[in-house]
Chains A and B, each alone.
Chain A
């Protein structure tokens, strides 16, 4: 069994939502979180969920292969599953930050204090 799990829309056309834009995503994947050290020195890991969204990831280099795949094929089929597997493996393995830059967060916090409805 692999470390990661992909959730696609599937043949029942179930919607997979992108949390960034609330629109339909092609798929989401649960991938390992890089992990952290606990106070007693042990290393623990969890998982994270990422989404492939045609709008939000349009300019993400790591997503281009899969976006092209879905643009051409629309969905995962038996004929193209091999290609899909290679692309999705590359996509989930691409390096990506796990959290927000603290300075950026600080700016958002200040904005929130100025206007609790608008932390931006």
Chain B
């Protein structure tokens, strides 16, 4: 990756043009590209010679250390990779050889990794069958030894490998790119070749297809190494000719006999390659473990019927029996019983271990067999789901059941799968990140040495992404591309700016190349056979995870199956909430037996109070719910299906809501179809919401089987005219056979086609809708328990925590600060309130939290700070942790101010730590000796001084916020909610939501918590402020022109209203300030001091008087601002604010002022 720049399709076209019957691939130490190479070669009618440039350990592959064969002075010529490996070229002669290369490459990674995955002679000798190999490039062992003057060793190495591979399978490799190192030991190499009768083979190190792509390749190397093209010290290819040369060019490199023979040998090698059986498909689905005497079929049937009895202990109806029988037959015919049994086993394991499992996602919820086996938890017949949407008997397809688990414990399920089904049969899956169009532009800009702004300018001129996909760079210049018309701006830049043209040229060479290897987030391959015999593997260095070298589509082509183990945070939240409920009520709630008609739940949904409810908590969704006023489960499912770009573009979401509430008439699609479609579309008020409805419509009206109907639905989604025209014919005939008019048929067809694309899989919305219902139920009925779980779940994400804390406030739930006597690690419900968890306090690690709780449980509640230090274990007596707990307010309940505790904690901890260390070492039990009882006593030497003074509110809250990430015990804006609400149109949390559009006008009210002033290059001031309200904080930018008007307002702690608009670029949200006003909240802020107003006659204001007044103000410092009302003798007054002084407006101050100004001198 980031080394080879040849695009395969283009390369094989060139091979054809050059008349080459075969092309070989030998990537460095990996086989990621082998399958794709094979497929593209076959498509071009070129023989694929699949191989690898293997890394070979200089000694045993298990020796993970540098080994040099020569003297220190010869280091440059010695074992490459700084002593880690030499190279060898290998090719598969046949299918066995290919699989042996897979094994070698896999074991090199798993057993021999040191810098790179390395094999050794011992490993090669085990798996040499079917492989052809060479002496390698100049980094091969033979040439390395020769460079070091070790002629005998070179000969021995060649002889050894000739023995391993067989005489006819081992060749002498010659290369010539004009490099000195290729020629230096040529004579010695040829001599060895003569002695061992090694046939020469000539190779060319092609890294790209055409000679003209050298520049693009050079740029690729710069991307790899993070350098620029102008960097003289960067890694580059010396020499030339690293492209697909023609036979004539290769023969022309060197006229010697050996070179000419070497060229001919390439044809010999190609002719020996037999591709039959390479990459053949085999059913490698994992096999279930069966009880003795059972076959897959017999056991599958038994398990399904046992499951049906479990689900319906009182018996089930004929419809369900028939459905189960039908599904069993289909599953058996398709050869998938083992897959179902294995999946059921994994889910059963999880449930047995108390790991919460999602009720179902994707189309699998449409299967009654999946329900019976416990894989899903929805009755498909109850919800009107269709099995054929999941498994279509009329189409060859692999089943795909995704499983959701509590994200904390997902790893346990994967470990179970690995242990039970074999660690050699389970692996994670590779993904490839390719260089996309915009990234190619930015990479090209960088390697060419241009400023970032140029690349930014070009990418911003490109058309926006559609459905997450950018226009390809070639499409910008291709009039036939459907988006060509949108790219005029960037074409204009290319035409008029040479730098842009240069960037575009290089970028085109980079786009589409593979940048990096990733790992599929949820997918795991489970195989019936050891994976090493099927695909090449690699072991991830960081944690030893085994990963397939092929991505999932390739693995599927070979018959391997991916199982998706997804971690769902909401299952974690549900789990925690249920545990909280059990603690607070003593009741163990079983969600699966919850009726789906809980009134408080639907009332919550109808109010749109769904922040924190699964899938329903976005701002736009909440608006939809308020409009819809859901009152049954179908509404939840419909909301999930409709709140997506497609249906929203057709206003289906609002139409559903309006029709549900009789605010919009339900217009039938066609009068002929009104009655037949009533049972299908009636539940969704005449709207097509689900894919299953498209299937049912085709079944009922046109006589389709549900399987064929699913295929019709998929075809409709492709939107290709020729496909649609073809599909219309049987559809029309089917409906005609059922007596419908052509008008009705055409009308229905014209509606079904677009809606087939928008419609969603009901099985998925039903499964996920159930999780939404559960979370809404918990929030509505157990708010403190649920919100505590929600707060715990967000971990370090302070923005989310602020959002949910604000929601708690709105719900009337008080969030109590952390407390060493009452907090646990996570957030916990306390009656109707929630206690902050100690785990959320900065600098307080889990071991400290556990210790505080454990000590409290063992030794009783902490009576004082000294008592706390006395009882605490040594691990807790960490100054930083204690300081953080103090500032967070965790000791507030012990009767001292935070200021006093902070002043004392350093010396107090010093006093106890030494003693505790001795106690821990068993030197003595201080407390037992002193008291003679088991009661803890005050630690000797603690001399704490408590003044009773606390920090000013602002400072106290600032510390608290530092430790907790937000204000908890109070908020600087507490008491101002009504003022903020009245003066704003949004709250900060709404602005930061994912759905915020660009250029949305906003009016926010909050406090300026920070101001950063800047200067442009032209010297104009501008500023970035942080505006904070009760829901979060956002940056607001005031550019120079705005700053001119508004700069004076930008003072920290001022409460303001800001008007402006959003800018959303590349996912980042900013607010640009356009107007601002200061809000008067002085009376509303809790604890805020009103100003002291002094009345000053103008004619008394002289310098001596001013000095006297200043003295009085200085000698009574406090929190109250001072204003002076200067009265003119002729009447009227001017108010002047005095920033320099804040006073303590107590009796003493007022007396002194009155003495100076008279009785009316102070208000």
Give A contacts to B, CB under 8 Å: 1-2, 4-8, 10-12, 14, 18-22, 28, 30, 33, 35-36, 38-39, 42, 44-51, 78, 81-82, 84-85, 88, 97-102, 104-105, 108-109, 112-115, 117-120
Contacts and interface: CB of A to CB of B under 8 A. Distances in A.
Contact of B1102 (A5, A51, A78, A101): A78
A120 B1135 contact: no
Contacts of A119: 1016, 1022, 1037, 1039-1040
Nearest to B1049: A49
A85 B28 CA distance: 84
Interface in B421-469: 453, 456-457, 460
A53 to B, nearest CB: 10
Interface of B: 453, 456-457, 460, 982-983, 985, 1003, 1013-1014, 1016-1018, 1020-1022, 1037, 1039-1050, 1056-1057, 1059, 1063, 1065, 1072, 1074-1080, 1098-1099, 1101-1103, 1106, 1110, 1123, 1125-1126, 1128, 1130, 1132-1140
Contacts of B1057: 36, 44, 46
23 contacts: A5-B1136, A10-B1136, A10-B1140, A12-B1140, A30-B1078, A38-B982, A38-B985, A46-B983, A48-B1049, A48-B1077, A49-B1048, A51-B1048, A78-B1101, A85-B1134, A99-B1076, A100-B1042, A105-B1042, A108-B1039, A109-B1072, A113-B1065, A114-B457, A119-B1037, A120-B1040
Given A6-B1136, A7-B1136, A114-B456, A109 B1077 contact: no
A2 B1133 CA distance: 8
Contacts of A98: 1045, 1075, 1077
A104 B982 CA distance: 29
Given A14-B1140, A20-B1021, A100-B1041, A47 B1077 contact: yes
Contacts of B457: 114
Nearest to B1055: A46
Contacts of A35: 1077
Contacts of B1133: 2
B1080 A108 contact: no
A61 B816 CA distance: 56
Contact of A108 (B460, B1040, B1047): B1040
Given A85-B1128, A105-B1039, A99 B1074 contact: yes
Q: Which of B1022, B1057, B1077 counts the most chain A CB atoms within 10 A?
A: B1077
B1099 A101 contact: no
A112 to B, nearest CB: 7
A20 B1047 CA distance: 7
A40 B383 CA distance: 42
Contacts of A33: 1077-1078
Contact of B1137 (A5, A20, A45, A117): A5
A22 B1023 CA distance: 13
Taking chain B's interface residues, is the majority helix, strand, or loop, or is none over half, making it mixed? mixed
Nearest to B1001: A102
Given A39-B985, A108-B1041, A78 B1077 contact: no
Contacts of B1048: 18-19, 28, 48-51
Given A38-B983, A120-B1016, A109 B1039 contact: yes
A46 B1040 contact: no
Contacts of A97: 1045
A80 B457 CA distance: 57
A112 B1024 CA distance: 12
B460 A48 contact: no
Given A20-B1043, A39-B985, A98-B1045, A118 B1074 contact: no
Given A50-B1048, A118-B1017, A44 B1075 contact: no
Contacts of A28: 1048
Contacts of A120: 1016-1018, 1020, 1022, 1039-1040
Contacts of A102: 1074
A81 B1043 contact: no
A42 B584 CA distance: 45
B846 to A, nearest CB: 39
A49 B1123 contact: no
B1056 A46 contact: yes
A15 to B, nearest CB: 10
A117 B1037 CA distance: 12
A102 B1001 CA distance: 11
Contacts of B1047: 19-20
A46 B1079 contact: yes
B1043 A44 contact: no
A101 to B, nearest CB: 7
Contact of A44 (B982, B1126, B1137, B1140): B982
Contacts of B1099: 78
A109 B1063 contact: yes
A33 to B, nearest CB: 4
